[in-house]
Structure formats: structure tokens, C-alpha cells
Amino acid sequence: MGLSFDCGGQAAISIRLIDFEITDSLGPEILRAAIARDFSSRELSQIGRYLHNGTLTSKAEAVETAHRQFMTKLTELRGIPLADGKPFFDATQGRLNSFAHWAVLLEEISEADLVFTNSVILCADVEMPIYVIARGGITGGLTDNNARSPYQAATMVGLFPILSNAPVFLRERGRIPEDELLDVIATFCMHEMGHFFLRYAEHYDHPHCVHCAPTGLNLYEWHRSIREEGPCALEHRKIRRMGDP
């Protein structure tokens, strides 16, 4: 997933408006507007596939269904207890799970081109695509422009949804066999490397394709499908810079 703003001029101001806190008074309405913005250009059948709901009859119903699912999942994900008993999301350190925080970091970083973290981006933002909406705010990987890099890009991969066996992940993803953990991580990295090296856009309609993000938290099922039934033989659209339409 790429950022739509470069860090400079008016865009540097605009980037501060990407994230919003869902618990603020206007949060639910901003979320509804963000979902409606993404859904406006999508077919109802595609929305239903990502929301695992094949009975949607209108865009308005789809937005309300996604809004309800998002709030439920985000709350559960943020409340996952860590080893010290504290919840995963620390409101006093909310920037650590912020999309804007990681986007700026990737634009500015000069020490590395690829960052692995045992955490993850977990928040609402006004530019969320459908697969982030369907996951309840999880952006598992982010590739963005970086003028300091010889590759002109930088990537982060958040491993928490792969490594954690919290009940929400066991329910939504299933248990990943220990001897396949590294393979699942490698498959997810291949998705991001498609952005990083090949400048592939996000794709939504290629079956068994590593360049289509998982439709939910079903990372293991997604990985197995790609390894067993891929590679994808369809043409993959390229972009010049991350964030291009």
C-alpha cells in the first residue's frame, strides 16, 4: 500500500489529516465517510467478497455493514493482551500504530530499505483501501517513496498478525503451523516487493495472486492459495510512484 502524499509543501500539512482517532466524537462519522469514499468506485460484488457478505443490496448497506464490522474488529484487535497483561494498543503511544507515523518514517528513513517489526499499523485513516477496512484497521505492510534510497522506496512489514495466536487471529486467520511461519512471512514480503522493485499497483481481481492483498486476516489461506495455485499469469499494472492512481 502506498501513500498518496509526498512529504513537502502543502502535502506535509495534509499528511497530518490522514489519521484520525476513532474514539473521538467525530471519529465514527469520519470512518463512515472514509468507507464510503473507497466503496464509491467499487462493484457491490467486490465489496461483498471482502466483507464476506454476499447479501448486500446497496452501497449504503455495504457502508453500514463495513462500519459495524470495522468498529468491532478494531476494538478486539486493540484489546489483545500482551505478555505483561497490558493491551496491544497503548493510547499514550498511539503513533506507534499510526499509518501517518509509518508513512513519514518510510519517506525519511536512510538506515534501511526494509523494516520488519513485531508490531503492526492498526488504526483508521481517511485513505484506507477496502482490504484494510475489512481487517478492522490493520495495514500489515506499507511500501512508500523514499528519495534517499537507491531503490527510491522503503518498506515496512508488520509481523504481529502472523506471529500472534490471539483468539481473533485464530478465528480470522487460523493457526499457522510453526514450520510454515517463515514461508507465510516470505509470501507477504513478496507482495510488498512487488511494490518495491516492480512498482506494481494494488490488484483486487486476480485469483491466487501474490499482488492481491488478503481479503481479510486469512493470511495462511492466502499464502497456501498462492503457493499451490499460483503464479498469476495475468498482466499486472505498474505505477510510476507509490500513491499514483
pLDDT digits (tens, 9 = 90+) for 52-91: 999 999 999 999 999 999 999 999 999 999 999 999 999 9
What pLDDT does residue 136 have?
Answer: 97
For the stretch 214-218, contacts whose Cβ atoms lie closer than 8 Å and that sit 24 or more positions apart, written own/partner, are 214/131, 215/49, 215/50, 215/52, 215/131, 215/134, 216/50, 216/52, 216/131, 216/134, 216/135, 216/172, 217/135, 217/138, 217/161, 217/168, 217/169, 217/172, 217/173, 218/172, 218/173, 218/174
Q: Is residue 4 part of a domain?
A: no
Q: Is residue 174 part of a domain?
A: yes
- C-alpha 49/C-alpha 175 separation (Å) is 22
What pLDDT does residue 12 have?
Answer: 44
Angle between helices 59-78 and 27-39 (to 10 degrees): 130
Q: Residue 14 pLDDT > 90, yes or no?
A: no
Q: Is residue 243 part of a domain?
A: no
Q: Residue 28 pLDDT > 70, yes or no?
A: yes
Q: Residue 243 pLDDT > 80, yes or no?
A: yes
Average pLDDT, the chain: 92
Confidence label for 229 from pLDDT (cuts 50, 70 and 90): very high
Q: Residue 8 pLDDT > 50, yes or no?
A: no
What pLDDT does residue 198 have?
Answer: 96
Distances (CA, A) of 242 to 24, 34, 91, 108: 30, 20, 29, 15
- C-alpha 50/C-alpha 73 separation (Å) is 14
Confidence label for 94 from pLDDT (cuts 50, 70 and 90): very high
Q: Is residue 68 part of a domain?
A: yes
Cis peptide before 245 (omega within 30 of 0): no
Confidence label for 191 from pLDDT (cuts 50, 70 and 90): very high
Confidence label for 18 from pLDDT (cuts 50, 70 and 90): confident
What pLDDT does residue 244 have?
Answer: 82
- C-alpha 107/C-alpha 3 separation (Å) is 9
What pLDDT does residue 11 have?
Answer: 44
Q: Is residue 238 part of a domain?
A: no
Task: Fill in the amino acid letter for 137.
Answer: G
Q: Is residue 218 part of a domain?
A: yes
74, 53, 73, 76: which is closest to 65 by C-alpha? 53
Tell me the CB-side half-sphere exposure of residue 54, using CA atoms within 13 A: 0
What pLDDT does residue 74 have?
Answer: 97
Domain carrying residue 83: 9-229
Report the percent of the chain where pLDDT is more than 90. 88
Q: What angle do CA 98, 102, 106 make, to 5 degrees?
A: 170
- C-alpha 198/C-alpha 78 separation (Å) is 34
What pLDDT does residue 73 have?
Answer: 97
The lowest-confidence range among 17-21, 138-142, 235-239 is 17-21
Phi first, then psi, for residue 139 (nearest 5°) are: -110, 105
pLDDT digits (tens, 9 = 90+) for 107-150: 999 999 999 999 999 999 999 999 999 999 999 999 999 999 99
Domain count, the chain: 1
Q: Is residue 138 part of a domain?
A: yes
Q: Is residue 234 part of a domain?
A: no
